[in-house]
Amino acid sequence: MGIVLNAQINIHRSDTIPMKESVTLPYDSTDVDIWINPERYVGQKMIYFQKGSPFYVKDYREIGGKKILQFPMFTYFEFMGNNRQEVKLKNIETGEICYYFHTGNGVKPIMAVGYIEKITRSQMNSQWCIDDHNGLFKVVDMWLAEGGIKYKLKSLSDGEEIELGTLYGCRSIKPYLQYVDKFKDEKWVLDSDFHIGIVDSVEVRKGQPYLIFRDDVGNSYDFYLTEPREPSDYFPDGLYYGNLPKFCEADHKKYLKKYGRINWVNIVGGIVSLGMTPEMVKMAYGDPEKIISMTDLSMGMTQWRYTNKTVTFVNGKVKDIIDF
């Protein structure tokens, strides 16, 4: 059965449990962590989903001052607070106050209902790349089972259905579509033979996304994609262009004339040769990680350091290339 977000939550395949109207926080984890102002969770609804941490009531007639309780899976609780050693809960159905031992980080027996709602909103109908599977899979069902949220996904190409206990390790296709947006408005040089083409789509093979270009006669060219990351000084938009086309058709016309065919073939192919200028090296290899200038020498020597090589310039021309 599917999920109706505001009315009920899909607990397992054969039944659903009605939910009372309540305001929930935009939870970012299943954890009620002692280090992040736990008082802000007080009054929020939790659901029992993970066996392993026994519940108890304070009863000093029992050994250790605790009486162990057993609850059916998916019992609802209200979060009452916690300290460095235990979490305090109230059984929503009976009003009984109980506790479980709390040691900081790690899997807890309860999950915030607000977290489940947030994950459902963000992931239902989303599309994913699954290891060892071709094509895209769409999330068509989600439910809470012992151990966490479970997923059913359906192939968009052949209708194959698979169930997963987690989407960890899978790749959402959404971030990769940013690459299509970046390349869509130009024609690009696709190889050192100067084939020119436009971006077509993102294609998934064995769980790995590729950016597909097509030339004027319909031939396809695929480029391995690296997962986008948080923007940084080195990756301003978070995208990694390592092996992707670097030069558009206008660049090709300009630099073929400026550098000559042999140098331009090398630059497009990511090759540096002796006699190249710093501008040409930057176009072939990208920005260096470190520049060392030795201006006290009469030759005017400069070294550009990359991850796996060093390029040495003398008087503004490549004099030596060392691979590590």
pTM of the model: 0.76
Predicted confidence (pLDDT) at residue 21 exceeds the cutoff of 50 = no
Mean pLDDT within 224-246: 90
pLDDT for res 31: 52
pLDDT for res 19: 41
pLDDT digits (tens, 9 = 90+) for 98-121: 999 876 666 688 888 888 888 888
Predicted confidence (pLDDT) at residue 34 exceeds the cutoff of 70 = no
Predicted confidence (pLDDT) at residue 11 exceeds the cutoff of 50 = no
pLDDT for res 101: 85
User: Using H for helix, E for strand and C for coil, what is the string for the chain?
Assistant: CCCCCCCEEEEECCEEEECCCCCCCCCCCCCCCCCCCHHHHCCCEEEECCCCCCEEEECCCCHHHEEEECCCCCCEEEEEEECCCEEEEEECCCCCEEEEECCCCCCCCEEEHHHHHHHHHHHCCCEEECCCCCCCEEEEEEEEECCEEEEEEEECCCCCEEEECCCCCCEECHHHHHHHHHHCCCCEECCCCCCEEEEEEEEEECCEEEEEEEECCCCEEEEECCCCCCCCCCCCCCCCCCCCCCCEHHHHHHHHHHHCHHHHHHHHCCCCCCCCCHHHHHHHHCCCCEEEEECCCCCCEEEEECCCEEEEEECCEEEEEEEC
Ordered domains of the chain (ranges, CATH): 9-115 (no CATH), 120-173 (2.30.30), 175-245 (no CATH), 250-323 (3.30.1450)
Looking at every residue in the chain, the average pLDDT score rounds to 86
